[in-house]
């Protein structure tokens, strides 16, 4: 690693700071624990304990309770179209929520099974996972489910599928299972952790991300599911219960005690956000351009219209620090997009989230570019800048 850092003088145009509003509380009308939210169907849907089912047709600003037909705890949902949600929960609960208030229940093979997650391989082929290694799948065109051999007896908490037949399942004690045939069969993956894994984010063209107990964050070492995983540095030790992506490199994960963390570099580095609550948070959904909603215990619904607001220790009136990161061949050039007032710290992270270089620098006025030594090893690296005004990060591919 070249550990050099020099400064040159270039004219910069200062940009105005953008005020942030952070997370605001949305009335839910219930004290039940809310576990899952989906804002990409119409109407939007929240589900939770004691059969709680809420919908919104105004972009998540207000929520109305509708009858779910059950008093079981509802734990997860996925979408099968613009107005169809598949919801699962305790005692084998599975129903289809369609239209404004239509709920149609379907039977699963085991009505004593706790169902923890559901996702669709196609709009008509679904996989459901639950406790004690339970996996069930339908054949498409109906909702008749048959159990599938998972190869484990561990509790399974999350499932995500992508086009091409691949699916990823996560569960207790670091369990990761991979399917390449639309959920017909599974093989184990080595996760590198024994922590319980509670949630998965899997988007096209990006490495898969898994979060879990004690602040655990795992990231695939290749795009998609891949076969090997890295444990990333987490800013928190609380359980992380859900994670979602904005498809622009921004990820937000939520967890116990009001924990909210955010990454703006495709999940490589993370900062804790000011959540304005201490309730346990269980579900999150993104609805562009910058709108997120989070649900949790005691009927909690939080809403952000500025990508989650400010990080812990950074005032809400301070703007995120934007900068350009350019590989010049023999060094990396960092060009701030706003006036830098006072000391600046620079950190360089590798693909495993390890900080491999850290330095402080004096940066005054609007006339500084920063030049950082270029890593010797090929791979994806992340540069993070911090000052009293805020912080920001960018990734770069070294070939």
- 272 and 168 within one domain: yes
CATH code for the domain in which residue 175 is found: 2.130.10.10
- 332 and 225 within one domain: no
Residues in the chain: 399
Spatial distance between the Cα atoms of 323 and 314, rounded to a whole number of angstroms: 18
Write out pLDDT tens, residues 235-283: 999 999 999 998 778 999 999 999 999 998 889 889 999 998 999 999 9
- 334 and 198 within one domain: no
Residue 311 lies in a domain: no
Write out pLDDT tens, residues 86-120: 999 999 999 999 988 899 999 887 889 999 999 99
- 189 and 125 within one domain: yes
Final residue belonging to a domain, choices 244, 274, 304: 304
3 pLDDT tier (thresholds 50, 70, 90): very low
pLDDT of residue 379: 79
Can you tell me which residue has the tokens 């051999």? 149
Taking the CA atoms of 326, 331, 335 and 336 in sequence, report the sign of the dihedral they define. Answer: positive
Residue 314 lies in a domain: no
- 49 and 9 within one domain: no
- 12 and 39 within one domain: no
Residue 30 lies in a domain: yes
Final residue belonging to a domain, choices 251, 274, 304: 304
Distance of CA 177 to the CA centre of its chain: 19
β-bridge mates for residue 9, sequence order: 368
Residue 40 lies in a domain: yes
Write out pLDDT tens, residues 11-26: 222 222 233 468 999 9
Q: Which two tokens stand for residue 297?
A: 């215990």
Write out the residue range of the structural domain in which residue 350 sits: 5-17+319-398
84 pLDDT tier (thresholds 50, 70, 90): very high
- 28 and 13 within one domain: no
pLDDT of residue 316: 43
Is 309 exposed, middle or buried, given 0-12, 13-18 or 19+ CB atoms closer than 10 A?
A: buried
- Is the pLDDT assigned to residue 140 strictly greater than 60? yes
pLDDT of residue 115: 97
Q: Find, among 143, 226, 220, the residue nearest to 180 by Cα.
A: 226
Q: Residue 258: phi, psi to the nearest 5?
A: 80, 20
Residue 253 lies in a domain: yes
Specify the number of domains making up the chain.
Answer: 2
pLDDT of residue 364: 43
Write out pLDDT tens, residues 323-333: 788 889 888 88
Write out pLDDT tens, residues 293-351: 999 999 999 999 888 887 786 554 445 667 788 889 888 888 877 776 667 778 887 76
CATH code for the domain in which residue 339 is found: 2.60.40.3080
- 351 and 286 within one domain: no
pTM: 0.79
- 219 and 91 within one domain: yes
Spatial distance between the Cα atoms of 152 and 213, rounded to a whole number of angstroms: 19
- 34 and 11 within one domain: no
pLDDT of residue 320: 62
pLDDT of residue 7: 28
Write out pLDDT tens, residues 144-167: 999 999 999 999 999 999 877 899
Spatial distance between the Cα atoms of 203 and 205, rounded to a whole number of angstroms: 6
Residue 369 lies in a domain: yes
Residue 232 lies in a domain: yes
Between these two residues, 45 and 384, which has the higher pLDDT value?
45
Is 371 exposed, middle or buried, given 0-12, 13-18 or 19+ CB atoms closer than 10 A?
A: middle
381 pLDDT tier (thresholds 50, 70, 90): confident
Strand extents, DSSP E, 82-201? 84-89, 94-98, 102-105, 115-120, 126-130, 135-138, 145-147, 156-161, 167-171, 176-179, 187-189, 197-201
- 348 and 285 within one domain: no
pLDDT of residue 366: 47
- 374 and 300 within one domain: no
Residue 199 lies in a domain: yes
Write out pLDDT tens, residues 180-230: 999 999 999 999 999 999 999 998 778 999 999 999 999 999 888 989 999
Final residue belonging to a domain, choices 304, 331, 353: 304
């Amino acid at each position: 690693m070249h550990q050099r850092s020099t400064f040159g003088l270039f004219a910069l145009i200062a940009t105005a700071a953008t005020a942030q509003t952070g997370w605001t509380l949305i009335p839910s009308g219930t004290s039940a624990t809310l576990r899952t939210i989906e804002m990409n169907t119409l109407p939007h849907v929240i589900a939770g304990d004691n059969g709680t089912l809420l919908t919104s047709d105004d972009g998540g600003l207000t929520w109305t309770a509708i009858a779910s037909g059950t008093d079981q705890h509802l734990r997860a949902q996925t979408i099968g179209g613009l107005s169809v949600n598949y919801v699962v929960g305790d005692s084998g609960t599975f129903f289809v929520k369609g239209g404004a208030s239509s709920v149609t229940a379907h039977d699963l093979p085991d009505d004593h099974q706790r169902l923890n997650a559901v996702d669709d391989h196609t709009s008509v082929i679904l996989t459901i996972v639950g406790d004690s290694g339970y996996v069930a799948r339908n054949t498409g065109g109906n909702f008749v489910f048959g159990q599938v051999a998972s190869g484990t007896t561990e509790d399974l908490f999350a499932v995500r599928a992508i086009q091409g037949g691949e699916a990823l399942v996560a569960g207790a004690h670091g369990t990761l299972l991979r399917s390449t045939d639309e959920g017909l069969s599974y093989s184990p993956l080595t996760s590198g952790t024994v922590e319980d894994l509670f949630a998965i984010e899997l988007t096209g063209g990006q490495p898969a991300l898994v979060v879990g107990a004690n602040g655990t964050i795992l990231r695939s070492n290749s795009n998609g599911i891949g076969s090997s995983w890295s444990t990333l540095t987490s800013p928190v030790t609380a359980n992380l219960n859900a994670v979602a992506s904005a498809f622009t490199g921004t990820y937000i994960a939520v967890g116990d005690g009001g924990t909210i963390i955010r990454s703006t570099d495709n999940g490589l580095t993370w900062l804790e956000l000011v959540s304005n609550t201490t309730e346990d948070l269980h579900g999150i959904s993104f609805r562009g351009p910058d709108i997120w909603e989070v649900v949790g215990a005691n009927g909690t619904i939080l809403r952000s219209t500025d990508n989650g607001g400010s990080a812990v220790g950074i005032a809400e009136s301070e703007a995120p620090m934007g900068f350009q990161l350019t590989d010049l061949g023999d060094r990396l050039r960092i060009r701030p997009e706003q006036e830098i007032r006072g000391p600046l710290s620079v950190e360089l992270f590798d693909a495993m989230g390890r900080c491999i270089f850290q330095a402080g620098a004096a940066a005054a006025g609007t006339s500084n570019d920063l030049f950082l030594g270029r890593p010797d090893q090929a791979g994806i690296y992340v540069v993070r800048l911090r000052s009293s005004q805020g912080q920001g990060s960018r990734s770069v591919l070294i070939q």
